[in-house]
Structure 1
Amino acid sequence: MPDIELAPGLECLTRRVDTDRFGPFVFEVGVEAARIKLALQRAEDTHDRFIASPFSQVANQLEREVVVSSVFGTNTIEGGKLSEDETANALMLDPAQVKEIEQRRAVNIKAAYDLSQQVARTAGWSLNREFILEVHRLITQQIPHPNNQPGKLRNNPKHHITYVGDEGHGGRYKPPQYGRDIDRLLDALIGWHAEMERSGVPGLIRAPLVHLYYELIHPFWDGNGRVGRVIEATLLQAAGYRYAPFALARYYLANIDSYFTLFNTCRKAAEKGQAWPNHAFVEFYLEGIRQTINTLQDRVNQMTALLLFESKLHRLLEEKRINVRQYTIVSQLLGRRRAMPLDEIRQTPWYTGLYLKLNDKTRQRDLRHLREMELVFLDTHHNLWPGVIRPQNIKPLGKKQI
């Protein structure tokens, strides 16, 4: 586990910035090392087990699923209306053919993810202004907004005040309004992150802290949440973590009230001079990483089991231990990744075609054989399951099958 004994030199990692109009702004690690160590250890251990998994055969499919899920999650947090299936369909479109704003939002996030992955793989890369501006440009391009300019920092005109948050999530917060203050604070955030990096602060600590302070600066008119989550994910990817950095968006969506409230909780704790003001957000983040990686591990196990099952099915067909009809039945169930009611199966063209010239006895024998070999399961509600999914309420074998 990375060394997080930061307490002796903690004051060296605090940076105060005196702005022109906003007042003093303080960056600090703000976590209690002794208390955070267990959460960090659990997250690290979970990640170590995950990367030791034999998931090379399913890596591409896992990455596609993570991208769709995370684009859906981060977009929905900010008010996106697409369902997860609609998000997947949008990401398959040629960007030049995207016309609908909701689809554009999803495609833009994917473009920012692509940039994130590219820079995270670049040796020696560190967080910089150009990257942040480009992420914002990609995320907000061709999306109408009365004030936002893609890739341009916010500079509020007089009497046009930006507020963040609401009373239901800890209150409204007035971030810096003056462009010069925002510009100065963004540079300070980048410099402070570089200082943490040089000091050996683990990526699992740096990423949420940068996310937290970035959102408090709130440097753009639109897209701040999406940009902040991409920055956070990029820092974690650059530190050697795979899949989880973007998949974490679903954890934030599932815990959206806590996610929004914690920004204000930490801000208010710092304003009151409380010790370790950022601890709650970092702890929340580490628990999210742990849960996210466990979910990914479960999905890898499912996909690996499916590959092994499909390989077994092919082998049984080649060895003539099952016939083409039986192979087709199981393959159709696998393609749906779910159970099918027997009545529904009976009415499908592919099934009626299989037994068009065969009698009921043959149908019964085929199904019984599949059940005996546990290539399919029949439950007590007369649903047929592919053998890779074992239902709890399996119907005992009997004479009447289907």
Structure 2
Amino acid sequence: MTPPFTINSRILNLVAQISEKVGQLSQTLPQAVDLRLRRINQVRTIHGTLAIEGNELTQEQVTAILGGKRVIAPVKAVQEAKNAIAVYEQLLQWHPQDESDILAAHKVLMLGMVDSAGQYRQSGVGVMKAGQVIHMAPPANRVPTLMVELLAWLQQSDDHALIRSCVFHYEFEFIHPFADGNGRMGRLWQTLILAKWQPLFAYLPVENIIHQHQERYYQAINASTQQTDSAPFIEFMLGVIQQALNELDRTDESILTPQVNPQVSPQVRALLQVMTGEMSREELQHACGLKDRKSFRQRYLKPALDEKWIEMTIPDAPNSRSQRYRLTTLGIEKKYQ
């Protein structure tokens, strides 16, 4: 059974543009930086997919957990992060069309979170928003059949992988096969389908971009349900994928040059260690225990900015009174080295 979806000119254009960009990046991204990019983007991916579901861990905390460090946070939030890290690290071991792999991945993702981890739901479920049911999923007794049909279509379809991955993601959310973890699983499986097409997608933080456009994500799902056609969701997701690829293409040279590994001075190390969230210059200087503003800027703040370990919240107005500073992904990685 083929899921209902139509392909319009915008979808075709996006598929062509994305395919071209993937071809360019596959040629230009140096293989030597794969592991570093994987780690940086793994943090973004895991933080994004958890944040969509209400997990309040920061990227810094996810980085710490990934590095085996202890963080002070709710036990459930930490467990969700550990499970997500485990499942994404096994990503390329799964087979997109294999039902047993979907169940196995869900068991890893929801270990210790629900009793039915790795099993389809046994009762009805609705998607709630603002106290109202916005989607009532199919009856539980229909789930096994619907999943078998969806996986059979995925295996037999000759549609482009970009389109197949989007359609699968939407249909998976519509079926809502598990008692919990459906959003995370849908996003994970789309990433898997894409990674089997082009390995580049294994470390492209698509989930992080979805988090940036979370409201539109749900709107696209709802629009597709109302139209009984997943075209709105396909368009949205292709736009997200394109944005993720463009951001990867603009990755700073400091990330893409593996031979450059600047050492952290004791002063900058101290600055990175005291940084949490967004902080003003005064707050940072006080946290470092310094009174000399000029010395702080020259020996602490400027070197960290130059190496792009921290960034301004208002880069176009560096002297703004509202200016704050925060760790970049590179800074988070450096902090926990």
The TM-score bracket by the shorter chain reads 0.7 to 0.9
Confirm or deny: 8 A CA contact 2:111 2:117 kept in the other structure. yes
What amino acid maps onto 1:45 in structure 2? E
**What SS does the corresponding residue of 1:164 show, helix, strand or coil?**
strand
Asked whether the 8 Å contact 1:68–1:87 carries over to 2, the reply is yes
Shift of the alpha carbon at 1:99? 9.5
**Alpha-carbon distance between aligned partners in 2 of 1:387 and 1:262, rounded to the nearest angstrom:** 40
Amino acid of the residue matched to residue 137 of structure 1?
Answer: K
Q: CA RMSD in A?
A: 4.0
What's the counterpart of residue 115 of structure 1?
90
Other-structure match for 1:153: 120
Please list the CA deviations of residues 340-395 of structure 1 after superposition, one character each: whole Å capped at 9, or x if unmatched: 979x89x989xx9xxxxxxxxxxxxxx9xxxxxxxxx97xxx96346556988999
Return the alpha-carbon distance in structure 1 between the equivalents of residues 62 and 181 of structure 2.
Answer: 18
SS at match of 2:118: coil
DSSP-derived class of the 2:122 partner: coil
Distance in 2 separating the partners of 1:112 and 1:163: 25
SS of the aligned residue for 1:251 comes to helix
1:30-41 → structure 2 map (5 Å cutoff): 30-41=5-16
Q: TM-score, normalised by structure 2?
A: 0.76
Higher RCO (CA < 8 A, seq sep 6+):
2
Correspondence 1:83 to 2:58: yes
Could you tell me which of 175, 179, 183 is aligned with 2:137? 175
What is residue 359 of structure 1 aligned with on the other side? none
2:102 is aligned to: 132
TM-score, normalised with respect to structure 1 = 0.64
Counterpart for residue 145 of structure 2: 184
Ranges in structure 2 where 5+ consecutive residues have no aligned partner: 320-337
Taking a change above 3 Å as real, the CA distance of residues 155 and 246 of structure 1, as seen in their structure-2 partners, is farther
Distance 1:32 1:243, change over 3 A: closer
Aligned mate of 1:69, from 44, 47, 61: 44
The Cα of 1:162 is off from its aligned counterpart by 1.6
- Which of 301, 326, 332 pairs up with 2:253? 301
Residue in structure 1 matched with residue 330 of structure 2 by the alignment: none
Number of residues paired by the alignment? 303
Distance 1:269 1:167, change over 3 A: farther
Q: Does 1:289 align with 2:238?
A: no
Counterpart residue identity of residue 190, structure 2:
E
Contact 2:33 2:257 in 1 (8 A): no
Question: What is the CA-CA distance between 1:44 and the residue it aligns to?
Answer: 1.6
2:78 is matched with: 103
1:274 aligned residue: none
- For 2:28 and 2:122, the matched residues in 1 are separated by 48
2:125 partner amino acid: T
Q: 1:305 & 1:75 partners in 2: Cα distance?
A: 30
Residue 288 of structure 1, CA deviation: 0.7
Residue identity matched to 1:136: H
Structure 1: runs of 5+ lacking an equivalent: 1-14, 16-25, 120-124, 271-276, 315-326, 353-366, 368-376, 396-402
SS class of match (1:27): coil
- Structure 1 residue 67: deviation in Å? 1.0
TM-superposed deviation, 1:81: 2.3
- 1:162 equivalent in alignment to 2:125: yes
Identity of aligned residues (%): 20
In 2: Cα distance, 1:76 partner to 1:233 partner: 17
Q: Does 1:221 align with 2:179?
A: yes
SS in 1 for 2:90: helix
Return the index of the structure with the highest Cα Rg.
1
Instruction: Give 1:187 deviation, angstroms.
Output: 0.4
Q: Give the AA of the match of 2:217.
A: Y
